[in-house]
């Protein structure tokens, strides 16, 4: 990374730098189950997260900044997710999209389901819902972008992460009138 991980950038440079980073998140969708359909819905015309600068056409994990794990993670699948995550270059972000990726969801008592993707990779934003509405994904993206804006890249690369954001848990939803998927009402 050269200088970035050595020195703290001066505030104006940091601002511009982070502003550029947050609006060009190349996104690698790890579509596993039902939530992947809502992810696709969020990328098509009605919801369209490309207007937020999230580009869902990363050719692979090596070109991606953001990993969206959408759907049920099974024990058989888990090594692949870990490997793809490790292939991504720093600084990298993870959105856990849907209850299954958060904690196992409706399969909390299943013998073959990993109870949350955070057991194998660190997560930045949890989006609850089964499946969450596309608006909830937009909300998660905006929450992540807010975090990137204020972030110190030096800390990030050094592995000093902030606590993950859980949508709907403490902060009010960013989009007016959005409901947090099946698990939450309007806040």
Tokens found for residue 149: 């804006």
Residues 108-127 contacting another protein, CB under 8 A: 109-113
Parallel/antiparallel/unpaired status of strands 165-166 and 125-127? parallel
Give me the least distance between CB of 14 and another protein, in Å please: 34
Contact 9, 41 (CB under 8 A): no
Say how many CA atoms lie within 13 Å of 170 toward its Cβ: 7
Give me the least distance between CB of 158 and another protein, in Å please: 29
Is 84 near another protein (CB under 8 A)? Answer: yes
Give yes or no for a cis peptide into 88 (omega within 30° of 0): no
Name which position in 9, 50, 120, 182 contacts another protein (CB under 8 A): 182
Site string for another protein, 17-56 (x = CB under 8 A): -------------xxxxx-xxx-xx--xxx----------
Q: Coil, helix or strand for 140?
A: helix
Q: Coil, helix or strand for 20?
A: helix
Binding site for another protein (CB under 8 A): 30-34, 36-38, 40-41, 44-46, 72, 74, 76-77, 80, 84, 106-107, 109-113, 130-131, 133, 182
């Amino acid at each position: 990374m050269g200088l970035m991980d050595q020195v703290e950038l001066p505030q104006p440079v940091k601002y511009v730098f982070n502003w550029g980073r947050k609006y060009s998140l190349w996104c690698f969708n790890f579509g596993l189950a039902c939530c992947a359909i809502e992810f696709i819905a969020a990328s098509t015309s009605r919801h369209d997260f490309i207007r937020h600068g999230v580009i869902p056409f990363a050719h692979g994990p090596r070109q991606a900044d953001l990993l969206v794990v959408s759907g049920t993670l099974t024990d058989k699948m888990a090594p692949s997710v870990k490997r793809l995550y490790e292939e991504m270059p720093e600084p990298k972000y993870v959105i856990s999209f849907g209850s299954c990726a958060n904690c196992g969801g409706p399969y909390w008592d299943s013998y073959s389901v990993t109870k949350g993707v955070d057991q194998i990779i660190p997560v930045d934003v949890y989006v609850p819902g089964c499946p969450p509405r596309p608006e909830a994904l937009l909300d998660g993206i905006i929450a992540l972008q807010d975090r990137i804006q204020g972030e110190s890249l030096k800390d990030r690369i050094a592995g000093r992460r902030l606590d993950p954001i859980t949508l709907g848990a403490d902060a009010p939803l960013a989009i007016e009138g959005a409901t947090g998927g099946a698990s939450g009402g309007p806040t």
